[in-house]
Structure 1
Amino acid sequence: MSASRTQDPAAKQKTLAWLRTVSGEFATATIKKLDETLPWYGSMPPGRRSAVGLVAQAGITSFISWFDDPKATPWIAADVFGAAPRELLRSVSLQQTLQLIRVTCEVVEDRVQDRDSFLREAILLYSREIAFAAADVYARAAEARGLWDARLEALVVDSILSGEYDDELPSRIAALGWHGHGAVSVLVGTAPRMLDVDVLRRTARHLDADVLIGVQGSRLVLVIGRADSDDATEGSPGSASPATTLPAVASGSAGSTKHHPTFTEIALALEPGFGDGPLVLGHEVPGLVDASGSAKAALAGFAVARSWRNAPRPAQADDLLPERALAGDPVARSTLVNRIYRPLKAHSSELLATLWCYLDNGRSLEATARELFVHPNTVRYRLKRVTDVIGWDATGAREALILQSALILGSIADPDAPTKSTRKAPGAK
């Protein structure tokens, strides 16, 4: 209901003249009441308190202009908040802004309670409209911040994937509110048609983890961070154990007082947020600055994961070392040689020869024992020693493929690699 249709024009002009006369008094009384009733206002720096006062005064001035002609006056929330610096919008929450509007309206209502009812109804209508407009301003600011955060997050993830770090990267990560300060791993899969990043973030927070999310074409990349804990006893992040699904490697110590989710457990919880297709988890690295290594391994594994017919979701990038090496990944080749072939050769040429013979004979204990002229129990013992040295179990089909690939690559790079023709029976000349 418009003011011009319900109030006598002469009375309205008289009311307007009175409002313009007392507007300064209204502003002074509002500042005083803000200081008395809102603790957050009193604790603000002087500059921001002054900006809040300008907002309150602008609101009163805007109300008078609107009361003069609600249809012709283009009053908007920007007119009210335009007097304050942009920093105020980030430092004063929507709830505090609504409290500011309420206090201002209460002050004005107290001063006009002896006036006609038309003016009081106009104040109620204006306060409702300005509250909705303030909410709209904050919603637009939140949307703009969300879009900016999404672009910044995509830039950070791209920097991690490419390994191109600069001096600004730590500040960009901090601006995103990254809470992880311990080990990091990268998870790569197929992006779903409808990506719900909020669900992924809530799932990660539930597991005391943080995520950076990036979409690159059809790929969804998650950089997962986990806080270090002094009482965690599931193994040091920098150990040389492989990322295979071995109980001795993946399980925690019996003395652990609190269960700290492994990256595999976190990835399993996040798995429903990915689309169909392979899902690959990179190896664990000490911190975010080292995440590029985990990302490159995960991306290389994702590229060849379809060649593993029964690959789990998620698959460990280190479990895809043979496929990655065949696809030309130099990191996979050096990993196989440095973590399997060379440690075995340095530890015992006997273990290396036994493993090679065992794999060449189709993982048959009896055939291996006959070729080496030893008892099958001796072969079992040596294979157990192999597992103790490098962490992989040659009796498993998948791990046997990894070990055989390492032996092949190691022998190519090692001119002194043993061959079957150099192994002789005891006592042979």
Structure 2
Amino acid sequence: MPRRANLARATRELIAGRTGDLVRAAVADIESRHPWYAALSARDRASVALVAHSGIENFVGWLAQGEGGPVRAQDIFESAPPELARSISLAQTLDLIRSVVDVVETQAAEIVGERAAPAVREAMLRYSRDVAFGAAHIYARAAEQRGAWDARLEALVVDAILRGDADEGMQSRAAALGWGATTYVAVIAGNPPTDPGSPETGAADPAYILDQLHRRASRHNLRVLAAVQGGRLITLLGGTPDALADATTLQDAFGPGPLVVGPTVPHLFAAGRSARAAISGHAAAAAWPTAPRPARADDLLAERALIGDLPARNALRSRIVRPLDQVSGGDLLQTATAYLEAGRSFEATARALFVHTNTVRYRLGRIADLTGYDLTDPHDGDTVHLAIRLARLGTAATPPATPR
């Protein structure tokens, strides 16, 4: 530690005797220079004054140690309640230290005389430097503890959503993370990024993965909760007006492979539905190698149906077959079936239905408008064809009505 001038005992006693005046001057300086002080509660303002008082007393004690004595910043902040660290930030704490330094520098000559004032100023500058480093260490340690606690809460919330346990326990944990009233929630399922430095497992450290994801989300003002579970990186988006666009923003935080976005649901406690769709889509995405990245889970309804996803099968029937069957007396469903089973040929379909090819084109346009599926697109056509087949199976599985 740099050498500092030893102050006479009488000089130290002069400073100690003016502790109250220095504290009042420091608090007045904070109040006049920093708007955040006025926004504190009366209790927190009293705590700030207590820290200032402790800091000046500690300064006097530090002077009495002579050369090389350590500065114990922890002792300064122990006088304040633990809640103060949550009320004022590190930057605001440094504002407090700066005000104490400025006051001591300004009033040094008045307190100890012109001859001893330079030594007091030099000592205060060196002391305040160590206090600032000590304060930064205290806040960093507190941030690490809060971060570890938040990570555990985050993992518990994500796990509860995946298991469908949206109970009061999850609600309280989500509220502690600031997600209690979050709306417009969607879930993303993807592969975690790999670690080139770990050839044995190829997997990056989960803590590192989540830290990088949160950093990227923070840069783009996105709210996320995430966990690595079952070999997947599961991410919840909160307050998202466009989940697919947000997933595109975050895609570099995921590893290679499919990236699937579940439907947006109204609040966190309905996120299980989005999570199940996203995970199902991620599991089935291998059946569509050219799927976009990211892809909507709803774009993978056919692939999900193939792996036995009952909600996906029901969605295919309700979104495709039922509307087509209810319009124009079933002509659209008949046309879709004929087109898909005639090799997707306009002419062959027209012959099968005894209509003009322009009628077939017109009806295919209506099908696209009604369902969102363009039968001339290979993937859309396969999806509609599968929906029709599933509907046939459902009808065949329904026992005939018993005549009365």
Q: Give the alignment's TM-score, normalised by structure 1.
A: 0.77
Moved more, 38-47 or 304-313: 38-47
Gaps of 5+ in 1: 229-261, 418-429
One-letter identity of the residue aligned with 2:146:
R
For residue 44 of structure 2, what is the aligned residue in structure 1?
48
Among candidates 203, 209, 217, match of residue 201 of structure 1? 217
For residue 58 of structure 2, what is the aligned residue in structure 1?
62
One-letter identity of the residue aligned with 1:277:
G
Query: Is contact 1:2-1:70 (8 Å) kept?
Result: no
Q: Secondary structure at 2:227's aligned position in 1?
A: strand
Distance 2:161 2:79 in 1: 41
Query: Is contact 2:71-2:130 (8 Å) kept?
Result: no
Distance 1:355 1:32 in 2: 80
Query: Is contact 1:280-1:302 (8 Å) kept?
Result: yes
For residue 214 of structure 1, what is the aligned residue in structure 2?
227
**1:305, CA displacement in angstroms?**
0.8
Q: Secondary structure at 2:396's aligned position in 1?
A: coil
One-letter identity of the residue aligned with 1:145:
R
Distance 1:20 1:132 in 2: 24
For residue 197 of structure 2, what is the aligned residue in structure 1?
none
Q: Secondary structure at 2:188's aligned position in 1?
A: strand
Distance 2:237 2:38 in 1: 41
Distance 1:70 1:330 in 2: 78
Distance 1:39 1:294 in 2: 44
One-letter identity of the residue aligned with 2:112:
V
One-letter identity of the residue aligned with 2:8:
K
For residue 129 of structure 1, what is the aligned residue in structure 2?
130
**Residues 36 and 379 (structure 1 numbering): CA distance in 2 closer, same or farther, change over 3 Å?**
closer
**1:112, CA displacement in angstroms?**
3.2
Query: Is contact 1:26-1:108 (8 Å) kept?
Result: yes
Moved more, 389-398 or 19-28: 19-28
Query: Is contact 2:186-2:261 (8 Å) kept?
Result: yes
One-letter identity of the residue aligned with 2:63:
F
- 1:240-259 to structure 2, matched below 5 A, reads none
Among candidates 352, 375, 383, match of residue 394 of structure 1? 375
Distance 1:358 1:35 in 2: 78
Distance 1:404 1:36 in 2: 73
**1:84, CA displacement in angstroms?**
0.7
- 1:24-103 to structure 2, matched below 5 A, reads 24-35=20-31, 37-69=33-65, 75-103=71-99
Q: Give the alignment's TM-score, normalised by structure 2.
A: 0.82
Distance 2:139 2:190 in 1: 35
Q: Secondary structure at 1:280's aligned position in 2?
A: strand
Query: Is contact 1:200-1:273 (8 Å) kept?
Result: yes
> Once the two structures are superposed, what CA deviation does each residue of 1:276-316 show, in whole Å capped at 9, x if it has no partner?
11111222333433222121111001012112122221122
Distance 1:101 1:401 in 2: 69
User: Are residues 1:326 and 2:322 paired?
Assistant: no
One-letter identity of the residue aligned with 1:301:
G
> Once the two structures are superposed, what CA deviation does each residue of 1:41-92 show, in whole Å capped at 9, x if it has no partner?
3453322222111111111221122112257966422100111111211112
Query: Is contact 1:180-1:226 (8 Å) kept?
Result: no
**1:202, CA displacement in angstroms?**
4.2
How many residue pairs end up in the alignment? Answer: 376
Q: Secondary structure at 1:363's aligned position in 2?
A: coil
Distance 1:35 1:316 in 2: 53
For residue 236 of structure 2, what is the aligned residue in structure 1?
223
Moved more, 362-371 or 403-412: 362-371
> Once the two structures are superposed, what CA deviation does each residue of 1:299-340 show, in whole Å capped at 9, x if it has no partner?
001012112122221122122222211211111111112222
User: Are residues 1:344 and 2:324 paired?
Assistant: yes
Q: Secondary structure at 2:360's aligned position in 1?
A: helix
Q: Secondary structure at 2:168's aligned position in 1?
A: coil
- Cα RMSD (Å) of the superposition? 3.0
Distance 2:168 2:345 in 1: 56
User: Are residues 1:413 and 2:390 paired?
Assistant: no
Distance 1:387 1:361 in 2: 18
Distance 1:398 1:39 in 2: 60
**Residues 49 and 309 (structure 1 numbering): CA distance in 2 closer, same or farther, change over 3 Å?**
closer
**Residues 144 and 21 (structure 1 numbering): CA distance in 2 closer, same or farther, change over 3 Å?**
same
User: Are residues 1:309 and 2:289 paired?
Assistant: yes
